[in-house]
Amino acid sequence: MKHYISMIVLLLSLLGVNTKCTGDDCSPNWLPFDNMNSALKGYDIMTGNPFSNGKDPGFRQQIFVPTVKNAEHRYELHSAFTYDNEVYCDTKMTTDISSTSKEYRKFMRETSKSGVDLQVGTETEVTAGIDIKGASISATKKIPEPFTRAWGKSNDFQSMQGLFSEKKSLVATSFAKCQLYEVIIHTFSSIPPLMEPFKKSIKELHQASGADKNTQLRIFKSFIRHYGTHFSIKTSFGGEIVHRTVFSSSTKKKFDGEKIKKCEYVRGSKIFGIQVEQDKEGCSSTDEKRLYNEQGSTIVSSIMSKGAPPEKDIYTWAQQDFKSVPLKYQLSPIINLFKKKYLDDGLQVSAEGIRKWFVPLYFNFCVSMYGSECSERNGCGYDDQCPSDTDCVGGPTESHYCRAWSSWSCQHCSKTAKRTRTCHGCSGKTTETKEMCQIE
| Residue 64 bridge partners (DSSP) | 194
pLDDT of 19: 54
Lowest mean pLDDT among 86-90, 143-147, 436-440: 436-440
pLDDT at 104 over 90: yes
Give the single-character DSSP code of 336.
G
pLDDT of 413: 62
Sign of CA pseudo-dihedral 346, 358, 220, 106: positive
Q: Where does residue 385 rank: exposed (0-12), middle (13-18), buried (19+ CB within 10 A)? A: middle
- pLDDT bracket for residue 412 (50, 70, 90): low
* Mean pLDDT computed over 431-440: 70
Prediction pTM value: 0.88
* Mean pLDDT computed over 413-431: 89
pLDDT at 136 over 60: no
Q: Residue ranges per domain, the chain?
A: 36-370, 390-435
What mean pLDDT value characterizes the chain?
88
What percent of the residues of the chain are helix, what percent strand, and what percent coil, each to the nearest 5? 35, 25, 40
Three-state DSSP class for 88? strand
Residue 24 Cα distances to 31, 32, 33, 98, 325, angstroms? 9, 10, 11, 47, 21
Per-residue pLDDT of 245-297, as tens digits, reads: 999 999 998 898 999 999 999 999 888 888 888 877 899 999 999 999 988 99
Q: CA-CA distance, 415 to 433, in Å (whole number)?
A: 10
The pLDDT > 90 percentage for the chain reads 62
Q: For the chain, state the CA radius of gyration.
A: 28
Q: Are 33 and 85 in contact (CB under 8 A)?
A: yes
Q: Are 424 and 401 in contact (CB under 8 A)?
A: yes
- pLDDT bracket for residue 403 (50, 70, 90): very high
100: Cβ–Cβ under 8 A, 6 or more apart, which residues?
164, 381, 382, 383, 384
Among 259, 306, 409, residue whose Cα is nearest residue 56? 306
Q: CA-CA distance, 395 to 3, in Å (whole number)?
A: 91
| Residue 350 bridge partners (DSSP) | none
